[in-house]
């Protein structure tokens, strides 16, 4: 029988009533002739509670025990979902990561999937099981310890299972009814997209859109997994949700597909560093070792010497998430104290936000950057940093102008039109 993967997020299984609602959707797909693999998250709020208990018990915790605790929420949901399906006379069993087994690296709290042998689950399908309810977010290390994939890891689990079992489709059920041109809470004109290319979804996810975890989109693109995002609170239909697919499955796309944003950005500038080969590697190598995710980078080259410095000097500006700012400052200042880096000052701004326009249509259309900059200028919004790729343009602006910028860009690129 063909295999279908269905993933239910925390809000979709937050209560027993919602678990029953989700189970009914699963039963419908079973009645259509599918063997179904259901990936479940912990009930809404449960993982945060478990993380809180770990931090309260041991602020400097053992990462192996952290994974043992925080992965337990998914086990509860998987068992309850299997019991609910059994009450509906659907042959179902719950599976924890180690039982599949879902094999991962040993990086506790941020493990990566290495393999999902399908033999165990396929054997049970052959014996009459119709639904395998798998605890998302978790796996097993080479040492035999429970691992977790990082927050949002159940999306990655679902896509990985769809690839491993060559599923016909992977449906991600959440509390929104699809992927929108921007956050409807910020722009009332936001429109649900029927289809979006993998590359566009990957950019939107990495730039702040919370619909899908970035790693799950990367996996879907690599293995060409047909991915559908839809709401567990709406009546099912063939037109429901948003299909995330290859560019060749989209007849004709708009120049810009969406406006993404991130409020939690920090801008860091290192003042008067040496303008010489290897300096960028020294700076960003230091940040990488400290686990800081750097995004936008700008180097300002000075043609004149700064007083008191030998040779040319420059300033280096980059952005990073605000919750990683202290880590970045500590790492850079430690490198300076150890003599590995030289800079006069470190300036940090935390009142900035990132706004991006994304679209595969940018590849074949000129003038997107000019239109974006003109739109922001018309609203008297100053741009602090600019970064571009083949299908995106991102800017850092003052955070107080975020909503205005998103709405203005959404209007300028007429994203409310299909």
3 state SS for the chain: CCEEEEEECHHHHCCHHHHHHHHHHHHHHHHCCCEEEEEECCCCCHHHHHHHHHHHHCCCCCHHHHHHHHCHHHHHHHHHHHHHHHHCCCCEEEECHHHCCCEECCCCCCCCEEECCCHHHHHHHHCCCCEEEEECCEEECCCCCEEECCCCHHHHHHHHHHHHCCCCEEEEEECCCCCECCCCCCCCCCCECCEEEHHHHHHHHHCCCCCCCHHHHHHHHHHCCCEEEEECCCCCCCCCCEEEECHHHCCCCCCCCEEEEEEEEEEEEEEEEECCCCHHHHHHHHHHHCCCCCCCEEEEECCCCCCCCCCCEEEEEEEEEHHHHHHHHHHHHHHHHCCCCCCCEEEEEEEEEEEEEECHHHHHCCCHHHHHHHHHHHCCCCCCEEEEECCEEEEEEEHHHHHHHHHHHHHHCCCCCC
Q: Is 8 annotated as a binding residue?
A: yes
Q: Is 175 annotated as a binding residue?
A: yes
Q: Which of 359, 125, 385, 363 has the alpha carbon at shortest distance from 266? A: 385
* Residue located via tokens 């300096």: 279
Q: Is 349 annotated as a binding residue?
A: no
Partners of 140 in beta bridges: 103, 146
Q: Is 47 annotated as a binding residue?
A: yes
Q: Is 74 annotated as a binding residue?
A: yes
* Residue located via tokens 């042959």: 91
Q: Which of 174, 175, 5, 153 has the alpha carbon at shortest distance from 71? A: 153
Distances (CA, A) of 10 to 47, 48, 87: 9, 11, 22
Q: Is 210 annotated as a binding residue?
A: yes
Element (H, E) at 357: strand 345-358
Q: Is 138 exposed, middle or buried (0-12, 13-18, 19+ CB in 10 A)?
A: buried
Q: Is 284 annotated as a binding residue?
A: no
Q: What is the DSSP letter of 180?
A: B
Q: Is 10 annotated as a binding residue?
A: yes
Q: Is 211 annotated as a binding residue?
A: yes
Residues in binding site: 7-10, 47, 74, 174-175, 180, 185, 210-211
User: Binding site for ATP: what residues are annotated?
Assistant: 7-10, 174-175, 180, 185, 210-211
Which residues belong to the annotated binding site for substrate?
47, 74
């Amino acid at each position: 029988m063909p295999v279908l993967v269905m993933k239910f997020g925390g809000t979709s299984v937050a209560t027993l009533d919602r678990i029953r609602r989700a189970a009914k959707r699963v039963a419908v797909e079973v009645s259509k002739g599918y063997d179904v693999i259901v990936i479940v998250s912990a009930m809404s709020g449960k993982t945060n509670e478990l993380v809180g208990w770990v931090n309260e018990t041991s602020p400097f915790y053992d990462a192996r025990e952290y994974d043992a605790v925080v992965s337990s929420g998914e086990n509860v949901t998987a068992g309850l979902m299997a019991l609910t399906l059994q009450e509906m006379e659907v042959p179902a069993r719950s599976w924890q990561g180690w039982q599949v087994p879902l094999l991962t690296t040993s990086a506790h709290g941020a493990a990566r999937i290495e393999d999902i042998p399908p033999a165990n689950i396929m054997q049970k399908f052959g014996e009459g099981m119709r639904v395998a309810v798998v605890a998302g977010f978790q796996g097993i290390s080479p040492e035999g310890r429970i691992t977790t994939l990082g927050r949002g890891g159940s999306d990655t689990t679902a896509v990985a299972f769809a690839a491993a079992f060559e599923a016909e489709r992977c449906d991600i059920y959440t509390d929104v009814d699809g992927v929108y041109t921007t956050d409807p809470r910020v722009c009332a004109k936001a429109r649900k997209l029927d289809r979006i290319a993998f590359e566009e979804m990957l950019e939107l996810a990495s730039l702040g859109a919370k619909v899908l975890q970035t790693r799950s989109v990367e996996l879907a693109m690599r293995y060409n997994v047909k991915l559908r995002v839809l709401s567990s609170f709406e009546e099912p239909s063939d037109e429901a949700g948003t299909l995330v697919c290859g560019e060749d499955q989209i007849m004709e796309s708009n120049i810009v597909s969406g406006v993404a944003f991130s409020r939690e950005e920090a801008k860091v500038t290192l003042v008067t560093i040496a303008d010489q080969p290897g300096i960028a590697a020294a700076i960003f190598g230091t940040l990488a070792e400290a686990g800081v995710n750097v995004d936008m980078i700008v180097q300002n080259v000075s043609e004149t010497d700064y007083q008191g410095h030998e040779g040319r000097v420059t300033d280096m500006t980059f952005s990073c998430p605000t919750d990683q700012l202290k880590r970045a400052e500590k790492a850079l200042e430690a490198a300076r104290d150890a003599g590995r880096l030289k800079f006069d000052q470190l300036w940090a701004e935390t009142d900035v936000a990132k706004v991006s326009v994304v679209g595969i249509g940018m590849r074949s259309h000129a003038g997107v950057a000019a239109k974006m900059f003109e739109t922001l200028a018309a609203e008297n919004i100053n741009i602090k940093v600019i970064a571009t790729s083949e299908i995106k343009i991102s800017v850092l602006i003052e955070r107080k102008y975020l909503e205005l910028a998103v709405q203005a860009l959404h209007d300028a690129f007429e994203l409310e039109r299909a």
